[in-house]
A and B are shown apart, each in its own frame.
Chain A
Amino acid sequence: MILGGLMALGLTAALAANPALTGRWRLDPARSTALDGWHKVDLVVALDGTRVALTYDMLWIRSKVVVTNTVDTAHPVELKNFFRIEQRHMAVYPAKHGITQATAAWIDGGRTLRTEVFTPVEISQGEVLMRMTSEYRVSETGDTLTLIELHSTRNRPLVYVFNKVPTEAAN
């Protein structure tokens, strides 16, 4: 059973990357789960072989945050400064010096990128691991990216819809 699962993971990981995912995407708040604390959210995706760089370009009032999570569909990776789009009115913080375990795979015939991370977070009772499963789905027309995020600690998924930023505007 486990072997079968791993084989399946290997197969999906071996699928070709979806080039339509690349580029700069801008959050459409009206079509997304409400997000406290961020005024602007851009997601920039870059592909390099089996590596996928997910750069979050965020703004809260005057505070700009630009962080890249690079995952690899060929093998698990450890991330030192993992970034998640957090609801900033919750006392849930990235754990100081925390190491996040991340896996990634192309699924659905290569159309969708799925990542799964185990990330340590600081809460009032100390540090705990949060599992986050995320799917990055590009619309057929290539102009919309839907990020569906499921937490091990949250029954209600978070859905963020992004619109493609034209190349000339992104530069």
Chain B
Amino acid sequence: MKKLISLLPLFVVCAVSAAVTKPIPGAASPARAAWMMHFDLDWKVAGGLPEKALLVSLQGLANRATPQLYIVHPPEFQWEITGPLFEFYQRKHGVKFTELKSADEALTQFADAAKGYVVWDKAVGASLNVAFTIAGLEDAVVVAEELIPLVTKHGLKPIDDLRGRYTGQTDEAIYQDAYNRYWARCAKDRIMLMGGHVGAVRMPAMADWGVREKMFFHDLSANPQHTRELALNRRLLSELTPGGYVFGWHSYGKDTEEQYTTLLSTYGLRMEGLHNLPNLSFNCQFTFTPGFKFTNNHHVAPDAKLTAEPKVYLAFVQSDSIGIGVWTKPGRGKLPFAWQVTMNWTEFSPAALEYFHESAMPNDYFIGGLSGPGYMYPNHIPAERFPLLMERANKLMALLDEHVMEIMDNSAADGNIGNTDLTQETVDRYYQAFPHVIGFINGYGPARTRDLRGTQPLISYDYYIDPRRPRAEVMADLNELIALNAKRPYFLLVHVRESNDVNSLIEITKQLEGPIEIVPVDVFLKLAASNQTYTKRYQDPEDPKHFSGYPKE
């Protein structure tokens, strides 16, 4: 079993890799040069995808040894932080960016980072993933047919050509061929699940990272109905290092998030998404600025004892990774809000985490998750793999100054609805693994796993705010929950979906009925520990399951 990498050596490597030029007065780090490009929102296969695939593969190669190329996406892109982080790199790391306005300019600057090019077949979607795999192993850029003249102009030679190689073949056959040819040379502690969008639009913005790290790219299905793809998928996952990473995201056209996350959890692996998370090849090479230390906005000491009054205590949590959504929406800071931090960004995007912490307001409070050091479903993590994963989660939470762990298991749910509960065995494991947290949060949609052991409560979400739901109905829903849960204190934990905005929540809270107090989630859990008006409940074996999981091999 591979020993997990400690963070310190990683930071040392990153610090050494940074090409220092001269100190910048007022900046935390010495100045350095880098280049940037603006991307638009055109990811159509018949439009902007081929050039973007070329550029992200080039980015992965250009950023192999030092951070040289950064992509800024429009604010409408799912990851809204590329702009703010671009500014952060300039301000805090003294990076002097030069803009590259075209693929031609990018190749002029970075063609030397590539040894050649590999041609993918636009008529065979999976060939793009095979091309990315080859790109990482052979230091190639990925081109569609029409871009060959451009890369040739910059002196790049053909390394491989996938046109026609996979015509008429199934994805299983294509990836089996790729497995036979390339898997032995690929990284074994990480793999790139380059799924997500399918069909006319694809969005492999994370490919730079996979190319840099020489990962095997695929979008094999976790759908039990796709038996042959699933079998190959399982073979790949079984050959990864225990505790390893599955980067990217499942294919929207083949399976579900629930199926894939269940599958990787079955192997004790962890998901780090999404498939369009950009710039990791750049971000991973910056460590925290000198003197920076994570300091969370704790509102209560870990050993404090609070006493709940006969009130309705309400707490808000956002758990879709803080790089998406609410953080950049209007009104942040006006309400106490807990943010689930993607803890592994300490390894892949330290600057992003520093940016969030730096820009946090007193009402912003960070919590650990999701379920562990990465996204996983704990009901399916093998018992023997659980302690190692959670040991890592504990270390990361200590580094990030986090006192609350958030858990989520939608393996038996359909979407985020249905059976979203934790077995008692799973709950036992968390209490054993996290003796020092204030408490646990569970769910995404509503769930009904609840517990209190000593001073550590485990509370599930009683409500999930869909951003599309009319605010008047959200208000009525919350008031109905308050009316139904008539004992006081009532602990009402609310999950806020990524694209809500805080201002609208403020208006809702003004119309809630009863003795309401909105509190930070650490205070919420401390209060919940003082008076258990909620039931103790675990996943009931008789509760229906939409999906029961995968048979052991």
Q: Does B125 contact A (CB under 8 A)?
A: no
Min CB distance A125 to B, Å, is: 5
Q: A62-B546, A151-B480 are in contact. Are A124 and B417 (CB under 8 A)?
A: no
**Could you tell me which residues of chain A, from 37 to 79, have a CB within 8 Å of some CB in chain B?**
37, 60-63
A51 to B470, CA, bound (A): 36
Min CB distance B182 to A, Å, is: 35
Beyond known contacts A63-B418, A89-B463: 13 more, CB 8 A cutoff: A34-B469, A34-B470, A37-B417, A89-B417, A90-B477, A91-B460, A124-B448, A124-B490, A125-B484, A125-B490, A153-B480, A156-B472, A156-B473
Residues from chain A with Cβ under 8 Å of B477 in the complex: 87, 89-90
* Contact in complex: A154, B485 (CB < 8 Å): no
Residues from chain A with Cβ under 8 Å of B447 in the complex: 91
* Contact in complex: B540, A91 (CB < 8 Å): no
Q: Does B535 contact A (CB under 8 A)?
A: yes
A34 to B465, CA, bound (A): 13
A37 to B414, CA, bound (A): 10
A130 to B484, CA, bound (A): 8
Q: Does B476 contact A (CB under 8 A)?
A: yes
Binary contact readout B125-153 vs A (1 if CB under 8 angstroms, 0 otherwise)? 00000000000000000000000000000
Residues from chain A with Cβ under 8 Å of B490 in the complex: 124-125
**Could you tell me which residues of chain A, from 124 to 147, have a CB within 8 Å of some CB in chain B?**
124-126, 128, 130
Task: Give me the interface of B with A, judged by CB distance under 8 Å.
Answer: 414-415, 417-418, 445-448, 450, 460-466, 468-470, 472-473, 476-477, 479-481, 483-487, 490-491, 533-535, 540, 542, 546
Residues from chain B with Cβ under 8 Å of A130 in the complex: 484
A19 to B446, CA, bound (A): 39
Residues from chain A with Cβ under 8 Å of B472 in the complex: 156
Name, among A37, A87, A91, A96, the residue most crowded by chain B CB atoms within 10 Å (CB to CB). A91
CB-defined A-B contacts under 8 Å, sample of 25: A34-B470, A60-B417, A61-B414, A62-B414, A62-B546, A63-B414, A87-B473, A87-B477, A88-B417, A89-B417, A89-B463, A89-B465, A90-B446, A91-B447, A91-B481, A123-B484, A124-B450, A124-B462, A124-B490, A126-B535, A128-B486, A130-B484, A155-B476, A155-B479, A156-B473
Residues from chain A with Cβ under 8 Å of B463 in the complex: 89-91
Residues from chain B with Cβ under 8 Å of A99 in the complex: none
* Chain A contact surface mostly: loop
Residues from chain B with Cβ under 8 Å of A124 in the complex: 448, 450, 460, 462, 485, 490-491, 534-535
A18 to B30, CA, bound (A): 82
Residues from chain B with Cβ under 8 Å of A61 in the complex: 414-415
Q: A34-B469, A122-B448, A123-B484 are in contact. Are A91 and B417 (CB under 8 A)?
A: no
**Could you tell me which residues of chain A, from 152 to 169, have a CB within 8 Å of some CB in chain B?**
153-156
Residue of B nearest to A121 (CB): B484
Q: Which of A36, A91, A93, A154 contacts B483 (CB 8 A)?
A: A154
**Could you tell me which residues of chain A, from 108 to 124, have a CB within 8 Å of some CB in chain B?**
121-124
A91 to B415, CA, bound (A): 15
Residues from chain A with Cβ under 8 Å of B486 in the complex: 125, 128
Min CB distance A153 to B, Å, is: 4
A155 to B479, CA, bound (A): 9
Residues from chain A with Cβ under 8 Å of B466 in the complex: 36, 89
A62 to B415, CA, bound (A): 9
Residues from chain B with Cβ under 8 Å of A121 in the complex: 484
A155 to B534, CA, bound (A): 24
Q: Does A92 contact B (CB under 8 A)?
A: yes
Residues from chain B with Cβ under 8 Å of A34 in the complex: 468-470, 473
* Contact in complex: B415, A60 (CB < 8 Å): yes
Min CB distance B484 to A, Å, is: 5
* Contact in complex: B415, A89 (CB < 8 Å): no
Min CB distance A165 to B, Å, is: 25
Min CB distance A29 to B, Å, is: 11
Residue of A nearest to B481 (CB): A90
Residues from chain B with Cβ under 8 Å of A126 in the complex: 535
Min CB distance B445 to A, Å, is: 6
Residues from chain A with Cβ under 8 Å of B483 in the complex: 153-154
